[in-house]
Amino acid sequence: MNLTRRPRRNRRTEVIRNLVQENHLSVNDFIYPIFVLEGENKANEITSMPGIFRYSTDKMLDEIAACVDLGVKAFAPFPNIDESKKDRFATESYNPEGLFPSFIREVKRNFPEVVLMTDVAMDPYSSDGHDGIVDNGEILNDATLEILAKMALEQARAGADIIGPSDMMDGRVGFIRERLDQNGFQNVSIMSYTAKYASAFYGPFRDALDSAPKFGDKKTYQMNPANSREALLEAELDTAEGADYLMVKPALAYLDVIKSLRDHSHLPIAAYNVSGEYAMIKAAAQNGWINGEKAMLECLLGMKRAGADIILTYFAKEAAQLLKG
Ligand code: PBG
């Protein structure tokens, strides 16, 4: 054959392949979501997330130290709140002496350079298991904003670097921004869960926090998986309201949304590689059906290729070990 163009020439050897590689994974891109428990000396594995543990604060500090050694220096903690402390208004979420603010202070005291992105939503603290106030089966938007702002302010006071509203209430980014600024927290950022879909892939996370909705679903606030233009509308609003980063969640079934936000925004874009995406790879790998490490790296790289600058992933530590090689 007389072929002028032979793309295989650029795939001939490993060194050549490395030269022409377009996208790279780096530990610098990762935020590691972690689950914090009350008490001391506690570690329990989440059944639906093999290899991921809920840790009490003391044990989590050891875990963070191990991650920092591997180059993972940004974390997204989530608190597992005792059922007895949950109520309709998520009051525990803005208790300055509660598990979460105390944990934030401990981490910042021990690891000042570590970046903490803290989640803002009512569900871990809500007796209804919803992200907003429930009134007669309806999720109230505007009344919820006040609770979210109180929660965000306590997190900022405790030392959070980035506030991550994951609740999908309208107007919450601007509302939280204003509350932070009024209290002198101009330097605390907001990473908005901009396009957060009503997804089946959050199941294992809800096991981890015992935070599944007690009735109904989250479809009146989380987005319809069928929609992509709506993600651009959310991105426009979050940007106007002062978000510093935009996030798409989940990642794998929404790579087109990541790409679309990347193409339409100048802000950094984050992808949340969620619990169910982690569980699928782990389950298949445990059965010997796929090579778990290769599948993990391929998925993470896919998120970068789609345009994510940042990846929140339960694989952060494992991927860091492999990248270190
Ligand atoms: C709740 C929240 C959820 C996740 C992060 N924050 C679950 C939900 O919306 O029900 C999911 C993360 C994951 O599945 O890894 N505000």
- Written as six digits, the tokens of 132 are 């907003």
At residue 52, the pLDDT reads: 98
Nearest alpha carbon, ligand 1 atom 8: 202
pLDDT of 86 > 90? The answer is yes
| pLDDT single digits (tens) 41-59 | 999 999 999 999 999 999 9
Instruction: Tell me which residue has tokens 């130290």.
Output: 65
**237-250 mean pLDDT:** 98
**Mean pLDDT across 273-284:** 98
Q: 1 alpha carbon to ligand 1 midpoint, in Å?
A: 54
Q: Using one digit for the tens of pLDDT, what is the confidence trace for 141-169? A: 999 999 999 999 999 999 999 999 999 99
Among this protein's residues, is 86 annotated catalytic?
no
What is the pLDDT, as a whole number, of residue 160?
Answer: 98
Atom of ligand 1 nearest to the CA of 166: 16
Q: What is the DSSP letter of 267?
A: S
User: pTM of this prediction?
Assistant: 0.97
Catalytic residue (one of 59, 86, 218, 249): 249
Residue 172 — φ and ψ, nearest 5°? -75, -30
Mean pLDDT calculated for residue range 314-319: 98
| pLDDT tens by residue, 103-131 | 999 999 999 999 999 999 999 999 999 99
Query: Amino acid identity of 70?
Result: L
DSSP characters over 223-250: BPTT-SHHHHHHHHHHHHTT-SEEEEES
Residue 35 DSSP symbol: E
- In this predicted structure, the answer to whether residue 190 has a pLDDT above a threshold of 90 is yes
For residue 14, how far is its CA from the centre of ligand 1 (angstroms)?
A: 39
Q: Are strands 138-140 and 133-135 parallel, antiparallel or unpaired?
A: antiparallel
Element (H, E) at 295: helix 292-306
Nearest CA to ligand 1 atom 10: 202
- Rounded distance from Cα 222 to ligand 1 centre (Å): 11
CA of 167 to the centre of ligand 1 (A): 9
Q: Which of 59, 86, 196, 218 is catalytic?
A: 196
Q: Is 249 among the catalytic positions?
A: yes
Spacing, Cα 110 to ligand 1 middle (Å):
27
Q: Does residue 166's CB lie within 6 angstroms of at least one atom of ligand 1? A: yes
Q: What is residue 202's predicted lDDT score, i.e. its pLDDT?
A: 97
The Cα angle at residue 278 between residues 273 and 281, in degrees rounded to 5: 125
> Hey, what are 139's tokens?
């999720």
Write out pLDDT tens, residues 195-235.
999 999 999 999 999 899 999 999 999 999 999 999 999 99
Q: Using an 8 Å Cβ cutoff, are 116 and 159 in contact?
A: yes
Residue 325 pLDDT level (bands cut at 50, 70, 90): confident
Please report the pLDDT score of residue 130 as a whole number.
96
Q: From the CA of 167, give the closest atom in ligand 1.
A: 16
Query: Rounded distance, CA 81 to CA 97, Å?
Result: 13
pLDDT given for residue 290 in this prediction: 98
- Specify the 3-state DSSP secondary structure of 45: strand
Q: Does residue 167 come out as left (phi exceeding 0), alpha (psi in the -120 to 50 range) or beta?
A: alpha
Give 3-state DSSP helix, strand, coil % of the chain, rounded to 5: 45, 20, 35
pLDDT tens for each residue of 88-108: 999 999 999 999 999 999 999
DSSP line for 50-113: TT-EEEEHHHHHHHHHHHHHHT--EEEEEEE--GGG-BTT-GGGG-TTSHHHHHHHHHHHH-TT
Count of CB atoms situated within 10 Å of the CB of 145? 22
Atom of ligand 1 nearest to the CA of 203: 14
